[in-house]
Structure 1
């Protein structure tokens, strides 16, 4: 654990936002002797933390550093400095010393052994308070006040002005606004002079145009399938075989023409479209692609078989069961709830028996099973996303301290920054790491009176 001596002549640090980044920043700054006030717009801090990981709080991941950074795409390089100062081992030690034991699960996800996110929030709040940080709920910040020399303080919605030598902006993104993550951080940063890169929903389900199919298959979970997103209309999807995952963190970053991303794993049909793990992973890239033009998705229901191998399997089954009609044939290949709707879009008469299938019928069925396609209408809105993509331009932030390069005394941490990653604890680790570094740096700034 990185430790610094207590500071003397401490001045005031204000932390805007009581999420993962803000709570750890407040605790660290107070630990180093700063007078800290955390301003939380909700009635209590940690609201969003309480619902992460379905209430279990996936705090980090066991992935090696290189893979960890890759999960953030090109912007992951920015985190190298913060992770060098405070990474997974330091985080787990922090929680362990406060009675929160952890365990890793599939995919390297790390959770509290208690499976209770409240234990994480309580540890963060206790750490901040035991070092003297004041947590003020129901305190929404209207503006960050500055002059030519830097930070002067903040003004609250109530009209109260609170002077300070340093401000840490950790107000979160714009997803789950009911938890307090309502986009305030972006407007505050922009008013302070920072550029805000376009915001997109990330880790969010997709809405498809073929709503009737979605409704008919609502609740169907598909395992071991390949989902691929294409930058084109459904009719223009190229006839290609995808053998690798494409997208950030996959190791195969440059996909074939028109392919946006491709993932192997589990997905889910909803009443409006598609969700599930691999859909969420692809959603940020799809959201950005929709700004440029049409997007379609293509589900390979049998990725373990080539088209030739699947055709040979059908021929064997047709020979063994020549009287089977199309619905019975599909029951051997698909979940029951999908049989009727897939049969309906196949173009093959429902009563046609296996013995009467033509080579063309078989080819059409193979094509459908290897490429069930839909056109994407949109993602769900930003407020329904797990994470906000986009945010404060990283070139304007010092990656070693999280200090603003534009406003002396201003620090930024967490989801307000243009950083977002795949599911699995990566985003929370980034929030914790940037919060820790910002708190440490702000405490040092606040020890110098520049008034």
Structure 2
């Protein structure tokens, strides 16, 4: 008999097992893999983006999927507590751009070892290569779990930290949603977020711009009325299937949401290649270049402003005579060039699969969870934390912050009973 069972040894599970075991409680952590913290080890490109140091309001603005729910858990344990937890155990952190926190060593394993040492010190039982078949309850009260081999482990509290459905090779295959449903919880529709975007445009299929990357462009997902639903000014790259890179990943969930809203597959997106320059200023820059080299072809002039392949594509796309110089270039062609650079619009038809996404959108309905404890409102002694919940943010330490904070609060609450 245990006090607390934690199912899933990922980021939030590690924290939940630690916080549940703090007061001498008997805790067991059940993990289907042969190792703990698989996703933690690959986070931040293997460097582990532990958390983000921005103020609450800014962190929550970077968690478009129900970030406001986190105000409750943050009142118990927050990003500064995460930093203190790691640093006070001998792993120094450094702050990088946009508040992202990394270990000075740049090694995710150093962060994982902090958790492993704490679990060992607090005598947490760890079962590897073990799969939970069902979570049991009687009279709306948790009684324990049954494993696939039929073994029953009893406990009055169960914390589900099994992750979403993205990056399934780390063990996130949606088990927690099955347990939640069985307990009477609703699961909001799951969808991929932080994932590359697909397009069937001819220029994508032909690979015309494949491999072309751009720094600091403004990428927008457009509503039905042509106005941006969201715009992200970051780097992006054209691929053989569509677009990728930070700006595309951040826009991906809004492609899905617009598909739902517009009830159609093809959604318009727009790129502003010069987001920090107005149309008028860009027109003046183009006019000055033409004036400087009146005998130069427009193709060669444009190549001084942008990458060669983009210049070639722009000319063909707009039907401009590539050899025309300033004497033969029509005013409407100049206008087309500026319009293209400030608002190239193209169609996309979705995103790559949820398995290829960094983060799962959707999950256990938050209306059924008490934010200050992370306990189910339906079944006493049942807790949820991390990506199994309907919370999703952008990359940059926001999802791991959510996982660690909700994990701590769920484990702490379960361990107090």
Alignment partner of 2:312 out of 326, 340, 346? 340
Tell me, yes or no, if structure 1 residue 416 matches structure 2 residue 378.
no
Q: Which is further off, 292-301 or 173-182?
A: 292-301
Deviation, 1:426, is 1.2
CA contact (8 A) 1:172 1:414 kept: yes
Q: Where in structure 2 are the equivalents of 1:158-177 lying within 5 Å?
A: 158-177=149-168
Match of 2:346 in 1: 374
Q: Which is further off, 315-324 or 334-343?
A: 334-343
Match of 1:353 in 2: 325
Structure 1: unaligned runs, 5 residues or longer: 1-9, 238-257, 446-451
Tell me, yes or no, if structure 1 residue 223 matches structure 2 residue 195.
no
Equivalences, count: 413
**How much is the aligned-residue C-alpha RMSD, in angstroms?**
1.7
CA contact (8 A) 2:163 2:172 kept: yes
Deviation, 1:121, is 1.3
Deviation, 1:353, is 2.0
CA deviation vs aligned residue, 1:46-66 (integer Å, no higher than 9, x gap): 111111111111111111112
CA deviation vs aligned residue, 1:394-415 (integer Å, no higher than 9, x gap): 1100111110000111000111
TM-score for both structures, normalised by structure 1:
0.88
Match of 1:17 in 2: 8
What SS does the aligned partner of 1:198 have? coil
Q: Which is further off, 295-304 or 321-330?
A: 321-330
CA distance, structure 2, for counterparts of residue 140 and residue 133 of structure 1: 18
What SS does the aligned partner of 1:222 have? strand
CA distance, structure 1, for counterparts of residue 327 and residue 24 of structure 2: 82
CA deviation vs aligned residue, 1:161-212 (integer Å, no higher than 9, x gap): 2111110000001100011111111121111111101111111111122253
CA deviation vs aligned residue, 1:401-440 (integer Å, no higher than 9, x gap): 1100001110001111111112211111111111111111
Match of 2:259 in 1: 290
Deviation, 1:152, is 1.2
Alignment partner of 1:305 out of 277, 284, 288? 277
Deviation, 1:224, is 2.4
CA deviation vs aligned residue, 1:230-280 (integer Å, no higher than 9, x gap): 134xxx74xxxxxxxxxxxxxxxxxxxx42101222212222111111221
Alignment partner of 2:195 out of 186, 204, 207? 204
Match of 1:255 in 2: none
TM-score for both structures, normalised by structure 2:
0.95
Deviation, 1:32, is 1.6
Tell me, yes or no, if structure 1 residue 275 matches structure 2 residue 228.
no
What SS does the aligned partner of 2:86 have? helix
CA distance, structure 2, for counterparts of residue 213 and residue 342 of structure 1: 14
Match of 1:3 in 2: none
